[in-house]
A and B are shown apart, each in its own frame.
Chain A
Amino acid sequence: MNQPARLKSEKRPIRYAMLFDLRKCIGCYTCVLACKSENDVPLGVWRSWIKRIEKGRYPAAREFILPIVCNNCDNPVCVTVCPVGSSIKRPDGIVYIDPHRCIGCRYCMAACPYGVRYIHPTRKIAEKCFWCHHRVDTGLDPACVEACPTGAILFGDLNDPDSPIAKAVARNPVQSIKADMGTRPYTFYIGLDRDVVEAKKTEGNE
Protein backbone atom coordinates (compact mmCIF):
# COMPACT_ATOMS: atom_id res chain seq x y z
CA MET A 1 0.00 0.00 0.00
CA ASN A 2 1.04 3.62 -0.15
CA GLN A 3 3.73 2.71 -2.64
CA PRO A 4 3.80 3.47 -6.34
CA ALA A 5 2.99 0.62 -8.67
CA ARG A 6 5.99 -1.44 -9.64
CA LEU A 7 6.74 -4.18 -12.06
CA LYS A 8 5.69 -7.62 -10.89
CA SER A 9 9.15 -9.06 -11.37
CA GLU A 10 10.75 -6.49 -9.11
CA LYS A 11 11.79 -7.92 -5.76
CA ARG A 12 10.13 -6.02 -2.94
CA PRO A 13 10.94 -6.17 0.77
CA ILE A 14 8.55 -8.06 3.00
CA ARG A 15 5.78 -5.93 4.55
CA TYR A 16 3.67 -7.96 6.92
CA ALA A 17 0.02 -7.05 7.40
CA MET A 18 -3.02 -8.48 9.12
CA LEU A 19 -6.57 -8.52 7.84
CA PHE A 20 -9.75 -9.15 9.84
CA ASP A 21 -12.71 -10.16 7.72
CA LEU A 22 -15.50 -9.01 10.04
CA ARG A 23 -18.12 -10.69 7.82
CA LYS A 24 -16.67 -14.01 8.96
CA CYS A 25 -15.95 -13.05 12.59
CA ILE A 26 -18.35 -14.65 15.06
CA GLY A 27 -16.91 -13.02 18.21
CA CYS A 28 -15.90 -16.30 19.83
CA TYR A 29 -12.79 -14.98 21.65
CA THR A 30 -10.60 -17.83 20.43
CA CYS A 31 -8.05 -15.32 19.09
CA VAL A 32 -7.95 -13.52 22.45
CA LEU A 33 -7.48 -16.80 24.27
CA ALA A 34 -4.77 -18.02 21.87
CA CYS A 35 -2.93 -14.72 22.26
CA LYS A 36 -3.12 -14.87 26.05
CA SER A 37 -1.68 -18.37 26.22
CA GLU A 38 0.89 -17.98 23.44
CA ASN A 39 2.39 -14.81 24.86
CA ASP A 40 1.85 -15.48 28.57
CA VAL A 41 -0.22 -12.32 28.98
CA PRO A 42 -1.05 -11.81 32.67
CA LEU A 43 -4.49 -11.30 34.17
CA GLY A 44 -5.96 -7.85 33.78
CA VAL A 45 -4.10 -6.85 30.61
CA TRP A 46 -4.62 -7.78 26.95
CA ARG A 47 -2.52 -7.74 23.81
CA SER A 48 -5.60 -8.34 21.73
CA TRP A 49 -9.19 -7.86 22.73
CA ILE A 50 -12.70 -7.63 21.39
CA LYS A 51 -14.95 -4.62 21.52
CA ARG A 52 -18.67 -5.30 21.08
CA ILE A 53 -21.44 -2.82 20.60
CA GLU A 54 -25.14 -3.17 19.97
CA LYS A 55 -26.82 -0.82 17.54
CA GLY A 56 -30.51 -0.10 17.21
CA ARG A 57 -33.48 -1.47 19.16
CA TYR A 58 -35.06 -4.91 18.92
CA PRO A 59 -36.09 -6.21 16.38
CA ALA A 60 -34.03 -3.80 14.25
CA ALA A 61 -30.82 -4.35 16.18
CA ARG A 62 -27.45 -5.86 15.49
CA GLU A 63 -24.28 -6.55 17.36
CA PHE A 64 -20.98 -5.37 15.91
CA ILE A 65 -17.67 -6.91 16.84
CA LEU A 66 -14.24 -5.32 16.56
CA PRO A 67 -11.18 -7.47 17.30
CA ILE A 68 -8.28 -5.15 18.17
CA VAL A 69 -4.56 -5.90 17.87
CA CYS A 70 -1.56 -3.65 17.41
CA ASN A 71 -1.63 -1.92 14.03
CA ASN A 72 2.16 -2.28 13.61
CA CYS A 73 2.05 1.11 11.93
CA ASP A 74 4.33 2.15 9.11
CA ASN A 75 4.86 5.50 10.84
CA PRO A 76 4.68 4.37 14.49
CA VAL A 77 4.49 7.19 17.03
CA CYS A 78 5.62 4.81 19.79
CA VAL A 79 8.98 4.41 18.02
CA THR A 80 9.27 8.20 17.67
CA VAL A 81 8.71 8.95 21.34
CA CYS A 82 10.51 6.05 23.05
CA PRO A 83 13.43 7.76 24.84
CA VAL A 84 15.62 4.66 24.99
CA GLY A 85 14.92 3.29 21.52
CA SER A 86 13.25 0.25 22.99
CA SER A 87 10.31 0.35 20.55
CA ILE A 88 11.77 -0.80 17.26
CA LYS A 89 10.28 -1.17 13.79
CA ARG A 90 11.71 -4.11 11.93
CA PRO A 91 12.39 -3.90 8.17
CA ASP A 92 9.43 -6.22 7.61
CA GLY A 93 7.13 -3.75 9.38
CA ILE A 94 6.65 -5.46 12.75
CA VAL A 95 6.99 -3.04 15.67
CA TYR A 96 8.31 -4.75 18.77
CA ILE A 97 9.61 -3.79 22.21
CA ASP A 98 13.09 -4.73 23.38
CA PRO A 99 12.30 -6.05 26.89
CA HIS A 100 15.88 -5.52 28.08
CA ARG A 101 15.88 -1.84 27.23
CA CYS A 102 12.41 -0.64 28.22
CA ILE A 103 12.42 1.46 31.39
CA GLY A 104 8.65 1.58 31.80
CA CYS A 105 8.28 5.35 31.30
CA ARG A 106 4.88 4.85 29.65
CA TYR A 107 5.47 7.51 27.02
CA CYS A 108 4.57 5.05 24.26
CA MET A 109 1.29 4.35 26.03
CA ALA A 110 0.58 8.07 26.18
CA ALA A 111 1.33 8.56 22.50
CA CYS A 112 -0.29 5.46 20.91
CA PRO A 113 -3.66 6.46 19.42
CA TYR A 114 -4.92 2.88 19.70
CA GLY A 115 -4.23 2.18 23.37
CA VAL A 116 -2.77 -1.24 22.61
CA ARG A 117 0.09 -1.08 25.12
CA TYR A 118 0.18 -2.03 28.77
CA ILE A 119 2.71 -2.24 31.57
CA HIS A 120 3.35 -5.85 32.56
CA PRO A 121 2.22 -6.12 36.21
CA THR A 122 5.41 -7.77 37.46
CA ARG A 123 8.06 -7.14 34.80
CA LYS A 124 7.14 -3.42 34.83
CA ILE A 125 7.93 -2.90 31.17
CA ALA A 126 5.67 -1.99 28.25
CA GLU A 127 4.30 -4.87 26.18
CA LYS A 128 1.99 -5.15 23.21
CA CYS A 129 0.97 -7.33 20.30
CA PHE A 130 3.83 -7.79 17.80
CA TRP A 131 2.05 -10.24 15.53
CA CYS A 132 3.83 -13.11 17.32
CA HIS A 133 7.11 -12.34 15.56
CA HIS A 134 8.71 -15.35 17.26
CA ARG A 135 6.26 -17.57 15.35
CA VAL A 136 6.42 -15.57 12.13
CA ASP A 137 10.21 -15.86 12.06
CA THR A 138 9.95 -19.64 12.12
CA GLY A 139 7.40 -19.68 9.30
CA LEU A 140 4.26 -20.05 11.41
CA ASP A 141 1.23 -17.77 11.46
CA PRO A 142 0.52 -15.67 14.56
CA ALA A 143 -1.37 -17.54 17.27
CA CYS A 144 -4.65 -15.69 16.69
CA VAL A 145 -4.58 -16.42 12.96
CA GLU A 146 -3.97 -20.10 13.53
CA ALA A 147 -6.66 -20.37 16.21
CA CYS A 148 -9.48 -18.54 14.41
CA PRO A 149 -12.13 -21.21 13.68
CA THR A 150 -13.80 -19.30 10.82
CA GLY A 151 -10.61 -18.21 9.07
CA ALA A 152 -11.54 -14.57 9.55
CA ILE A 153 -7.96 -13.46 10.17
CA LEU A 154 -5.35 -13.37 7.43
CA PHE A 155 -1.67 -12.67 7.96
CA GLY A 156 1.10 -12.41 5.40
CA ASP A 157 3.32 -10.35 3.18
CA LEU A 158 1.37 -7.55 1.55
CA ASN A 159 4.14 -6.98 -0.98
CA ASP A 160 3.88 -10.53 -2.30
CA PRO A 161 1.10 -10.36 -4.92
CA ASP A 162 0.45 -14.09 -4.59
CA SER A 163 -0.15 -14.12 -0.83
CA PRO A 164 -3.78 -14.58 0.30
CA ILE A 165 -3.72 -11.32 2.25
CA ALA A 166 -2.47 -9.27 -0.72
CA LYS A 167 -5.25 -10.74 -2.86
CA ALA A 168 -7.89 -10.12 -0.19
CA VAL A 169 -6.77 -6.53 0.39
CA ALA A 170 -6.68 -5.90 -3.35
CA ARG A 171 -10.15 -7.30 -4.02
CA ASN A 172 -12.12 -5.92 -1.06
CA PRO A 173 -12.88 -2.49 0.34
CA VAL A 174 -10.70 -2.39 3.45
CA GLN A 175 -10.55 0.08 6.31
CA SER A 176 -8.23 0.64 9.23
CA ILE A 177 -8.80 2.26 12.61
CA LYS A 178 -8.01 5.98 12.89
CA ALA A 179 -6.15 6.19 9.59
CA ASP A 180 -6.37 9.99 9.94
CA MET A 181 -3.75 9.89 12.68
CA GLY A 182 -1.01 9.67 10.08
CA THR A 183 0.35 6.47 11.59
CA ARG A 184 -0.35 4.35 8.46
CA PRO A 185 -1.78 1.31 10.27
CA TYR A 186 -1.22 -2.12 8.72
CA THR A 187 -4.05 -3.99 10.42
CA PHE A 188 -6.93 -3.94 7.96
CA TYR A 189 -10.61 -4.75 8.34
CA ILE A 190 -13.28 -5.78 5.88
CA GLY A 191 -16.71 -4.61 6.97
CA LEU A 192 -15.59 -2.29 9.74
CA ASP A 193 -18.45 -0.24 11.19
CA ARG A 194 -17.82 3.39 12.04
CA ASP A 195 -19.83 3.29 15.26
CA VAL A 196 -17.97 0.34 16.72
CA VAL A 197 -14.77 2.42 16.56
CA GLU A 198 -16.27 5.68 17.73
CA ALA A 199 -18.57 4.49 20.52
CA LYS A 200 -16.90 5.44 23.79
CA LYS A 201 -17.81 5.39 27.42
CA THR A 202 -17.56 9.06 28.25
CA GLU A 203 -19.88 10.90 30.53
CA GLY A 204 -23.33 11.53 29.10
CA ASN A 205 -22.93 8.60 26.70
CA GLU A 206 -24.26 5.57 28.56
Chain B
Amino acid sequence: MDIQILQNIVPQEAFGLNIAIYFYLTGLSAGSFILSTLAYGFGIKMFKPLGKIGVVMATFLLMLAPVFLLLHLGSPIRFWHLFVYLNPASPITWGTFLLILYPINCIIYGYFMFRDKPKQTRIFAFIGIPLAILIHGYTGFIVAVGKARALWNTALMPVLFLVSAIVSGIALVIIVYLVVFGVFSKNRKPDFQLVGKLATILAWTIVLDLFLVGSDLIVLAVSHSEAQEVLQVLIRGKFFVPFVIIENLLGKVFPFFLLVIPKFRNVFTITLGSILVLIGIFFMRYVVVVGGESVPLI
Protein backbone atom coordinates (compact mmCIF):
# COMPACT_ATOMS: atom_id res chain seq x y z
CA MET B 1 0.00 0.00 0.00
CA ASP B 2 1.36 3.41 -0.94
CA ILE B 3 1.25 5.72 2.02
CA GLN B 4 2.53 9.22 1.66
CA ILE B 5 2.67 11.78 4.44
CA LEU B 6 1.42 15.02 2.96
CA GLN B 7 1.69 17.13 6.06
CA ASN B 8 2.71 16.84 9.66
CA ILE B 9 4.66 18.90 12.16
CA VAL B 10 7.93 17.91 13.73
CA PRO B 11 7.78 18.26 17.54
CA GLN B 12 10.70 19.97 19.25
CA GLU B 13 13.56 17.89 20.57
CA ALA B 14 13.17 17.38 24.32
CA PHE B 15 16.57 16.21 25.53
CA GLY B 16 19.68 17.08 23.59
CA LEU B 17 23.45 17.09 23.82
CA ASN B 18 23.50 18.91 27.19
CA ILE B 19 21.60 16.08 28.86
CA ALA B 20 23.89 13.50 27.23
CA ILE B 21 26.93 15.36 28.62
CA TYR B 22 25.28 15.56 32.04
CA PHE B 23 24.67 11.79 32.09
CA TYR B 24 28.24 11.21 30.95
CA LEU B 25 29.73 13.36 33.72
CA THR B 26 27.62 11.87 36.53
CA GLY B 27 28.54 8.41 35.25
CA LEU B 28 32.25 9.21 35.32
CA SER B 29 31.84 10.65 38.81
CA ALA B 30 29.94 7.65 40.20
CA GLY B 31 32.36 5.20 38.58
CA SER B 32 35.49 6.86 39.94
CA PHE B 33 33.93 7.22 43.40
CA ILE B 34 33.16 3.51 43.57
CA LEU B 35 36.74 2.71 42.50
CA SER B 36 38.12 4.93 45.26
CA THR B 37 36.14 3.01 47.90
CA LEU B 38 37.88 -0.27 47.01
CA ALA B 39 40.87 0.77 49.14
CA TYR B 40 39.34 3.24 51.60
CA GLY B 41 36.05 1.42 52.14
CA PHE B 42 36.71 -2.25 51.54
CA GLY B 43 40.36 -2.15 52.58
CA ILE B 44 41.95 -3.66 49.47
CA LYS B 45 45.46 -2.26 49.95
CA MET B 46 46.52 -2.65 46.35
CA PHE B 47 44.09 0.04 45.15
CA LYS B 48 45.20 2.61 47.70
CA PRO B 49 46.90 4.93 45.15
CA LEU B 50 43.54 5.25 43.33
CA GLY B 51 41.64 6.53 46.36
CA LYS B 52 42.62 10.15 46.20
CA ILE B 53 42.45 10.29 42.39
CA GLY B 54 38.98 8.74 42.52
CA VAL B 55 37.56 11.11 45.10
CA VAL B 56 39.02 14.25 43.48
CA MET B 57 37.65 13.26 40.06
CA ALA B 58 34.28 12.28 41.55
CA THR B 59 33.89 15.64 43.34
CA PHE B 60 35.14 17.77 40.47
CA LEU B 61 33.04 16.05 37.78
CA LEU B 62 29.92 16.20 39.91
CA MET B 63 30.32 19.90 40.43
CA LEU B 64 30.69 20.36 36.68
CA ALA B 65 27.69 18.20 35.78
CA PRO B 66 24.83 20.47 37.02
CA VAL B 67 26.21 23.29 34.84
CA PHE B 68 24.94 21.35 31.84
CA LEU B 69 21.56 20.90 33.53
CA LEU B 70 21.31 24.67 33.95
CA LEU B 71 22.31 25.15 30.30
CA HIS B 72 19.51 22.77 29.34
CA LEU B 73 16.81 24.54 31.38
CA GLY B 74 14.60 26.91 29.45
CA SER B 75 14.33 29.24 32.45
CA PRO B 76 17.54 28.65 34.46
CA ILE B 77 16.75 31.51 36.85
CA ARG B 78 13.87 29.42 38.13
CA PHE B 79 16.13 26.49 39.12
CA TRP B 80 15.19 27.08 42.79
CA HIS B 81 11.67 25.86 41.98
CA LEU B 82 13.22 22.38 42.06
CA PHE B 83 13.83 22.76 45.81
CA VAL B 84 10.54 24.47 46.66
CA TYR B 85 7.95 22.64 44.56
CA LEU B 86 8.57 18.93 44.86
CA ASN B 87 6.97 16.07 42.99
CA PRO B 88 7.96 12.77 44.64
CA ALA B 89 6.89 10.87 41.52
CA SER B 90 9.43 12.61 39.28
CA PRO B 91 12.98 11.22 38.97
CA ILE B 92 14.28 14.79 38.54
CA THR B 93 13.04 15.58 42.06
CA TRP B 94 14.94 12.56 43.41
CA GLY B 95 17.99 13.93 41.62
CA THR B 96 17.60 17.35 43.25
CA PHE B 97 18.41 15.79 46.62
CA LEU B 98 21.06 13.41 45.30
CA LEU B 99 22.87 16.25 43.55
CA ILE B 100 23.23 17.97 46.93
CA LEU B 101 23.91 14.99 49.20
CA TYR B 102 26.40 13.21 46.96
CA PRO B 103 28.92 16.04 46.43
CA ILE B 104 28.76 16.99 50.13
CA ASN B 105 29.52 13.39 51.04
CA CYS B 106 32.34 13.34 48.46
CA ILE B 107 33.91 16.43 50.03
CA ILE B 108 33.72 15.05 53.60
CA TYR B 109 35.04 11.66 52.43
CA GLY B 110 37.90 13.34 50.57
CA TYR B 111 38.68 15.62 53.53
CA PHE B 112 39.13 12.66 55.89
CA MET B 113 41.11 10.78 53.25
CA PHE B 114 43.60 13.63 52.78
CA ARG B 115 43.82 14.06 56.59
CA ASP B 116 44.74 10.36 56.92
CA LYS B 117 41.82 9.39 59.14
CA PRO B 118 41.00 5.88 57.89
CA LYS B 119 38.14 5.22 60.31
CA GLN B 120 36.07 8.28 59.35
CA THR B 121 37.00 7.83 55.68
CA ARG B 122 35.57 4.33 55.82
CA ILE B 123 32.24 5.54 57.25
CA PHE B 124 31.80 8.13 54.50
CA ALA B 125 32.89 5.61 51.87
CA PHE B 126 30.03 3.36 52.86
CA ILE B 127 27.57 6.27 52.95
CA GLY B 128 28.86 7.27 49.52
CA ILE B 129 28.45 3.93 47.76
CA PRO B 130 24.62 3.91 47.78
CA LEU B 131 24.63 7.62 46.92
CA ALA B 132 26.95 7.00 43.96
CA ILE B 133 24.76 4.14 42.77
CA LEU B 134 21.65 6.30 43.15
CA ILE B 135 23.12 9.38 41.48
CA HIS B 136 23.73 7.44 38.34
CA GLY B 137 20.82 5.05 38.75
CA TYR B 138 18.41 7.97 38.90
CA THR B 139 19.63 9.27 35.54
CA GLY B 140 18.75 5.84 34.19
CA PHE B 141 15.28 6.27 35.68
CA ILE B 142 14.95 9.71 34.04
CA VAL B 143 15.10 8.09 30.63
CA ALA B 144 13.29 4.89 31.67
CA VAL B 145 10.27 6.85 32.93
CA GLY B 146 10.11 8.72 29.59
CA LYS B 147 7.51 6.23 28.44
CA ALA B 148 7.02 7.80 25.02
CA ARG B 149 10.27 6.36 23.68
CA ALA B 150 10.77 2.67 23.09
CA LEU B 151 14.54 2.85 23.53
CA TRP B 152 14.20 4.49 26.94
CA ASN B 153 11.21 2.79 28.48
CA THR B 154 12.94 -0.34 29.73
CA ALA B 155 13.80 -1.55 33.23
CA LEU B 156 17.29 -2.33 31.89
CA MET B 157 18.13 1.37 31.54
CA PRO B 158 19.21 2.12 35.16
CA VAL B 159 21.35 -1.05 35.24
CA LEU B 160 22.84 -0.31 31.84
CA PHE B 161 23.62 3.22 32.97
CA LEU B 162 25.31 1.97 36.14
CA VAL B 163 27.48 -0.59 34.36
CA SER B 164 28.55 1.91 31.72
CA ALA B 165 29.27 4.38 34.53
CA ILE B 166 31.65 1.91 36.16
CA VAL B 167 33.25 1.15 32.77
CA SER B 168 33.90 4.83 32.07
CA GLY B 169 34.99 5.48 35.68
CA ILE B 170 37.66 2.78 35.57
CA ALA B 171 38.94 4.02 32.21
CA LEU B 172 39.15 7.59 33.53
CA VAL B 173 40.97 6.55 36.71
CA ILE B 174 43.50 4.50 34.68
CA ILE B 175 44.34 7.52 32.52
CA VAL B 176 44.50 9.97 35.42
CA TYR B 177 46.63 7.51 37.42
CA LEU B 178 49.10 7.07 34.56
CA VAL B 179 49.29 10.83 33.98
CA VAL B 180 49.67 11.74 37.67
CA PHE B 181 52.15 9.02 38.58
CA GLY B 182 53.92 8.71 35.24
CA VAL B 183 54.24 12.30 34.07
CA PHE B 184 53.87 14.70 37.00
CA SER B 185 55.42 12.71 39.84
CA LYS B 186 59.23 12.65 39.93
CA ASN B 187 59.95 10.11 42.63
CA ARG B 188 57.02 7.76 42.09
CA LYS B 189 56.57 5.38 39.20
CA PRO B 190 53.20 3.95 38.18
CA ASP B 191 52.60 0.46 39.57
CA PHE B 192 52.14 -1.65 36.46
CA GLN B 193 50.73 -4.56 38.39
CA LEU B 194 47.96 -2.27 39.61
CA VAL B 195 47.32 -0.88 36.11
CA GLY B 196 47.21 -4.41 34.78
CA LYS B 197 44.68 -5.41 37.43
CA LEU B 198 42.52 -2.39 36.57
CA ALA B 199 42.75 -3.24 32.88
CA THR B 200 41.49 -6.75 33.61
CA ILE B 201 38.57 -5.42 35.68
CA LEU B 202 37.78 -2.91 32.93
CA ALA B 203 37.84 -5.61 30.24
CA TRP B 204 35.36 -7.84 32.05
CA THR B 205 33.06 -4.93 32.97
CA ILE B 206 33.01 -4.15 29.24
CA VAL B 207 31.79 -7.71 28.64
CA LEU B 208 28.97 -7.19 31.15
CA ASP B 209 28.09 -3.92 29.40
CA LEU B 210 28.07 -5.62 25.99
CA PHE B 211 25.83 -8.34 27.40
CA LEU B 212 23.32 -5.74 28.63
CA VAL B 213 23.39 -3.84 25.32
CA GLY B 214 22.94 -7.14 23.48
CA SER B 215 19.95 -8.20 25.58
CA ASP B 216 18.40 -4.76 25.08
CA LEU B 217 18.76 -5.10 21.30
CA ILE B 218 17.36 -8.64 21.22
CA VAL B 219 14.25 -7.61 23.14
CA LEU B 220 13.82 -4.45 21.03
CA ALA B 221 13.90 -6.63 17.90
CA VAL B 222 10.86 -8.66 18.97
CA SER B 223 8.99 -5.94 20.87
CA HIS B 224 6.28 -3.57 19.63
CA SER B 225 6.48 -1.59 16.40
CA GLU B 226 8.17 1.53 17.79
CA ALA B 227 10.86 -0.60 19.43
CA GLN B 228 11.55 -2.26 16.10
CA GLU B 229 11.70 1.13 14.39
CA VAL B 230 14.23 2.54 16.84
CA LEU B 231 16.31 -0.63 16.51
CA GLN B 232 16.46 -0.10 12.74
CA VAL B 233 17.59 3.49 13.29
CA LEU B 234 20.37 2.26 15.58
CA ILE B 235 21.72 -0.64 13.57
CA ARG B 236 21.00 0.46 10.00
CA GLY B 237 19.87 4.07 10.00
CA LYS B 238 21.19 7.42 11.11
CA PHE B 239 22.86 6.11 14.26
CA PHE B 240 24.77 3.23 12.65
CA VAL B 241 28.14 5.02 12.92
CA PRO B 242 27.78 6.39 16.49
CA PHE B 243 26.13 3.24 17.83
CA VAL B 244 27.62 0.24 16.04
CA ILE B 245 31.01 1.56 14.95
CA ILE B 246 32.04 4.06 17.63
CA GLU B 247 30.18 2.92 20.75
CA ASN B 248 30.38 -0.82 20.38
CA LEU B 249 33.19 -1.77 18.00
CA LEU B 250 35.73 0.99 18.73
CA GLY B 251 34.53 1.75 22.25
CA LYS B 252 33.98 -1.75 23.64
CA VAL B 253 34.99 -4.74 21.48
CA PHE B 254 38.37 -3.39 20.27
CA PRO B 255 39.45 -2.10 23.74
CA PHE B 256 38.41 -5.43 25.26
CA PHE B 257 40.94 -7.28 23.09
CA LEU B 258 43.57 -4.59 23.69
CA LEU B 259 43.15 -4.93 27.45
CA VAL B 260 42.69 -8.65 27.84
CA ILE B 261 45.28 -10.30 25.56
CA PRO B 262 48.57 -10.49 27.54
CA LYS B 263 50.73 -10.23 24.39
CA PHE B 264 49.29 -6.80 23.53
CA ARG B 265 49.29 -5.47 27.04
CA ASN B 266 51.59 -2.51 27.72
CA VAL B 267 51.21 1.10 28.87
CA PHE B 268 50.43 2.27 25.37
CA THR B 269 47.65 -0.24 24.62
CA ILE B 270 46.09 0.20 28.06
CA THR B 271 46.06 4.00 27.63
CA LEU B 272 44.68 3.70 24.11
CA GLY B 273 42.05 1.21 25.26
CA SER B 274 40.96 3.46 28.13
CA ILE B 275 40.68 6.52 25.87
CA LEU B 276 38.61 4.54 23.37
CA VAL B 277 36.35 3.33 26.20
CA LEU B 278 35.83 6.93 27.36
CA ILE B 279 34.88 8.00 23.82
CA GLY B 280 32.66 4.93 23.43
CA ILE B 281 30.70 5.59 26.62
CA PHE B 282 30.22 9.22 25.62
CA PHE B 283 28.66 8.00 22.38
CA MET B 284 26.55 5.55 24.40
CA ARG B 285 25.00 8.51 26.27
CA TYR B 286 24.59 10.39 23.01
CA VAL B 287 22.91 7.47 21.24
CA VAL B 288 20.54 6.78 24.15
CA VAL B 289 19.50 10.43 24.57
CA VAL B 290 19.48 11.73 21.00
CA GLY B 291 18.95 8.41 19.19
CA GLY B 292 16.07 7.51 21.50
CA GLU B 293 14.24 10.62 20.36
CA SER B 294 14.94 10.17 16.67
CA VAL B 295 11.80 8.15 15.90
CA PRO B 296 8.80 10.48 15.45
CA LEU B 297 5.93 9.95 17.88
CA ILE B 298 2.97 10.71 15.62
The stretch of A47-55, A139-147, A148-156, A162-170 in contact with B is A47-55
For residue A22, CB closer than 8 A to chain B, the reply is: no
For residue A97, CB closer than 8 A to chain B, the reply is: no
Q: A119-B74, A202-B232 are in contact. Are A83 and B92 (CB under 8 A)?
A: yes
Measured between C-beta atoms, what is the minimum distance from B226 to chain A in Å? 9
Task: Choose from B3, B6, B14, B81 the contact partner of A110 (Cβ within 8 Å).
Answer: B14
The stretch of A1-9, A12-20, A130-138, A191-199 in contact with B is A191-199
Q: With CB as the reference atom, state the residue of chain A lying closest to B145.
A: A81
B277-298 to A contact mask, C-beta < 8 Å, 1/0 = 0000000000000000111111
User: Is the pair B81, A103 in contact by a Cβ cutoff of 8 Å?
Assistant: yes
For residue A124, CB closer than 8 A to chain B, the reply is: yes
* Measured CA separation A174–B111 after assembly (Å): 64
At the interface, is chain B mostly helix, strand, loop or mixed? loop
Task: Choose from B75, B92, B152 the contact partner of A124 (Cβ within 8 Å).
Answer: B75
User: Is the pair B4, A201 in contact by a Cβ cutoff of 8 Å?
Assistant: no
User: Is the pair A203, B238 in contact by a Cβ cutoff of 8 Å?
Assistant: yes
Task: Choose from B146, B232, B293 the contact partner of A204 (Cβ within 8 Å).
Answer: B232
User: Is the pair B2, A55 in contact by a Cβ cutoff of 8 Å?
Assistant: yes
Question: Which residues of A from 98 to 137 have beta carbons under 8 Å from B?
Answer: 101-107, 109-119, 124-126
User: Is the pair A103, B14 in contact by a Cβ cutoff of 8 Å?
Assistant: no
For residue B118, CB closer than 8 A to chain A, the reply is: no
- List chain A residues, Cβ under 8 A from B149: 110
Q: A203-B237, A204-B237 are in contact. Are A107 and B9 (CB under 8 A)?
A: no
**Residue tally, chain B, CB below 8 Å to A:** 53
Task: Choose from A53, A63, A103, A182 the contact partner of B73 (Cβ within 8 Å).
Answer: A103
- List chain B residues, Cβ under 8 A from A173: none
Measured between C-beta atoms, what is the minimum distance from A22 to chain B in Å? 15
- List chain A residues, Cβ under 8 A from B87: 82-85
For residue A77, CB closer than 8 A to chain B, the reply is: yes
Measured between C-beta atoms, what is the minimum distance from B225 to chain A in Å? 7
User: Is the pair A80, B89 in contact by a Cβ cutoff of 8 Å?
Assistant: yes
* Measured CA separation A54–B85 after assembly (Å): 46
- List chain B residues, Cβ under 8 A from A55: 1-3
User: Is the pair A113, B72 in contact by a Cβ cutoff of 8 Å?
Assistant: no
For residue B15, CB closer than 8 A to chain A, the reply is: yes
A11-52 to B contact mask, C-beta < 8 Å, 1/0 = 000000000000000000000000000000000011001111
Residue among B4, B74, B93, B298 with max Cβ neighbours from chain A (10 Å):
B298
Measured between C-beta atoms, what is the minimum distance from A85 to chain B in Å? 5
- List chain B residues, Cβ under 8 A from A85: 85-87
- List chain B residues, Cβ under 8 A from A102: 74-75, 78
* Measured CA separation A104–B237 after assembly (Å): 31
For residue A158, CB closer than 8 A to chain B, the reply is: no
B89-103 to A contact mask, C-beta < 8 Å, 1/0 = 111110010000000
* Measured CA separation A99–B142 after assembly (Å): 23
Measured between C-beta atoms, what is the minimum distance from A198 to chain B in Å? 7
Q: A82-B90, A83-B90, A111-B145 are in contact. Are A105 and B73 (CB under 8 A)?
A: yes
For residue B233, CB closer than 8 A to chain A, the reply is: yes
* Measured CA separation A61–B232 after assembly (Å): 29
User: Is the pair A201, B225 in contact by a Cβ cutoff of 8 Å?
Assistant: no
User: Is the pair A195, B14 in contact by a Cβ cutoff of 8 Å?
Assistant: no
For residue A57, CB closer than 8 A to chain B, the reply is: yes
* Measured CA separation A75–B155 after assembly (Å): 20
Question: Which residues of A from 52 to 87 have beta carbons under 8 Å from B?
Answer: 52-57, 61, 63, 68, 77, 80-86
Residue among B76, B81, B89, B90 with max Cβ neighbours from chain A (10 Å):
B90
User: Is the pair B78, A103 in contact by a Cβ cutoff of 8 Å?
Assistant: yes
For residue B104, CB closer than 8 A to chain A, the reply is: no
Q: With CB as the reference atom, state the residue of chain B lying closest to A45.
A: B12
For residue B147, CB closer than 8 A to chain A, the reply is: yes
Q: With CB as the reference atom, state the residue of chain A lying closest to B7.
A: A52
Binding site for B on A (CB under 8 A): 45-46, 49-57, 61, 63, 68, 77, 80-86, 101-107, 109-119, 124-126, 177, 181-182, 195, 197-204
Having A85-B85, A202-B233, one finds 7 other A-B pairs with CB under 8 Å, namely: A84-B81, A103-B82, A113-B147, A117-B11, A195-B1, A202-B294, A203-B232
| 5 A-B interface contacts by CB (under 8 A) | A52-B8, A55-B1, A101-B81, A105-B92, A199-B5
List the 7 closest A-B pairs by CB distance, nearest first: A104-B74, A83-B92, A124-B74, A115-B11, A110-B14, A109-B14, A115-B297
